[in-house]
Chains A and B, each alone.
Chain A
Amino acid sequence: MALGATFAGVIRRELRLALRQGSDSIMVVTFFVLTVVLFPFGIGPEVNILERVSAGILWVTALLASMLSLDRLFQTDYDDGSLELLTLTPTAMEIVVVAKIAAHWLTTGLPLIVAAPLLAVLLHMDGAGFVTLLLAMLLGTPSLSLIGSIGAALVLGARRGGVLLSLLILPLYIPVLIFGVGAVDAAIHGFSPDAHLMVLGALLLVALPLCPWAASAAVRQAIE
């Protein structure tokens, strides 16, 4: 009971904050769209080239976009003293962290998934890859938020935390990138993407208990 109430309470607060401030989600999606749009200009408009790199472009850009808002995950709460009080709740700190990560995914990961098919059209992605792209992102983007939470917690209190955060987190994003792109490529070339999707699912299942636990420990350390 208390567990669920805490979880729901934190999510509601985070969503309310995101809605009122608004800028974060819009910034992430705008970054995603603008960066993807740059590629046809840089590579040239040849359909077959764009088609071949479309999955990679979408995934790499989604990784970067998701990372862009990570430093806000704990930093504002750390600055105004809320994070101290959040660690002093009668429920486990991990629940609070999971709720914050879930809210981060709802406000950044989900908008990316909505924007991705439109950008896939722009990059001439083969129609066969669309459903797989959505599925892969649905399984992969929560992992990005989860893994990112560790970095966001570790850089609390550090100067130039944003740069440090990308150095810490980008290498950890590579498995999600490999299997995310692999799934879409398999579908486009007429193979079954199931294996790749299952690995993405497995990554999510591993990240789900481990990342909030590690992030909570890092937050406690930062507050001490």
Chain B
Amino acid sequence: MRNGTLTSSFAGTSLTCVRGERVVFTGLDFSLNAGDALILLGPNGSGKSSLLRLMAGLIRPAAGELSWNGEAVAADRERHAGRIHYVGHHDAIKPVLTVIENLAFWARLHGAESDDKTDAALERLGLDHLAGTPGKLLSAGQKRRLNLARLLAAPAPLWLLDEPSVALDRASVRVLEEIIAEHRAGGGMVAVSTHADIDLPGGRELQMADYAVTATWNAELGTWL
């Protein structure tokens, strides 16, 4: 594992997220230490994705702060980007590039210097026989596996996975669970939003409903109702 991973910690204090006119969650605290897993639970629209995007630095919190080893994340966005892998709803796969080209591009962007890891990542996710296949010929599950292969192709201590098991078959979910377990054993951290079909032993659960805001701001009265 990379230098510093073993002692790293990632935390958020009193985070508030506003999307459009709506307060998605407020007063949310979390902390992740090396080897930890955070499982975000909640119904659709409860802010799981927003929290992960916030952790990734794609959106800025309306209030509160994210910190890495005690240092504010907002101070150096690029540095934070180098520490994370974000897997969102879109698989970011170019239809005209081959599987290996798609993966190698993202791996190099994240500082991978050799292609050994990309090959190993493809093999791990059962895509090695498709290395030369263009992205447009992949099934939804294969695309998702290719997206997940980024996690292994370049090391990063924090993985942010937004519903990573969507479109995956049972066997692939098992592989994903193993990969996450190995990552955590090596001192990595992971935050996963899921509908509880991924088994993460010892993972802490975060119920998004606990931080929901039921009141809405009434501009006419100037108060929360």
Contacts and interface: CB of A to CB of B under 8 A. Distances in A.
Decide whether A and B assemble into one complex: yes
A24 B88 CA distance: 28
A72 B84 CA distance: 28
B94 A9 contact: no
Interface string B78-102: 1101101010111111101100010
Given A85-B86, A89-B81, A17 B96 contact: yes
B90 A90 contact: no
Interface of B: 56-60, 78-79, 81-82, 84, 86, 88-94, 96-97, 101, 105-106, 108-111
A49 B66 CA distance: 66
A224 B96 contact: no
A6 B96 contact: no
A158 to B, nearest CB: 16
B56 to A, nearest CB: 6
Contacts of B108: 5, 9
Across chains A and B, which 9 residue pairs bring their CB atoms closest together, nearest first?
A81-B90, A90-B82, A20-B96, A81-B92, A82-B92, A88-B81, A224-B59, A9-B108, A89-B109
Interface in A71-125: 80-82, 84-92
A84 B60 contact: no
A5 B82 CA distance: 14
Interface of A is mostly: helix
Interface string A1-19: 0100110011001001100
Nearest to A8: B108
Contact of B90 (A10, A16, A84, A91): A84
A184 to B, nearest CB: 38
B88 A84 contact: yes
A92 B86 CA distance: 17
Contacts of A224: 58-60
B54 to A, nearest CB: 10
Contact of B78 (A20, A81, A82, A92): A92
A5 B112 CA distance: 10
Nearest to A88: B81
A48 B111 CA distance: 59
Contact of A80 (B56, B92, B111): B92
Contact of A84 (B58, B82, B101): B58
A223 interface: yes
A224 B90 CA distance: 15
11 contacts: A9-B109, A20-B97, A80-B93, A81-B90, A84-B58, A86-B109, A87-B58, A88-B56, A88-B81, A89-B109, A90-B78
